[in-house]
Amino acid sequence: MRKTQRHRRTPGIEWVRWWCIMNLSSGDSRELLALAIALSLCLARDQGQAELGRLAAFFTVVGDTLALFALQPDLRPPDQGVK
């Protein structure tokens, strides 16, 4: 039987969070690919097949929406003074 862990962050999640803060703006596609793989591994931990399918579908929608915003900037929501 699997033990439940409450309010415990895995080292992998902390590493991904730190990496995002430090390097996401660099734009290096290899680094972004490594981040995507690391994040996927962290998210997939202890998930069943159904949960993985829902996560995959969710991030597919997020990615497709961002791609549309990149292609048609007028679709983006108006700025609210936050940069």
**Spatial separation of the C-alpha atoms in residues 26 and 76, rounded to whole Å:** 23
Say if residues 42 and 10 touch (Cβ distance below 8 Å): yes
Task: Report residue 33 as tokens.
Answer: 């690919």
11 sits in which H/E element: helix 11-23
| Domains in the chain: boundaries | 1-45, 49-76
Average pLDDT by stretches of 10, the chain with 83 residues: 51 67 68 83 92 94 88 76 49
pTM of the model: 0.57
pLDDT of residue 1: 43
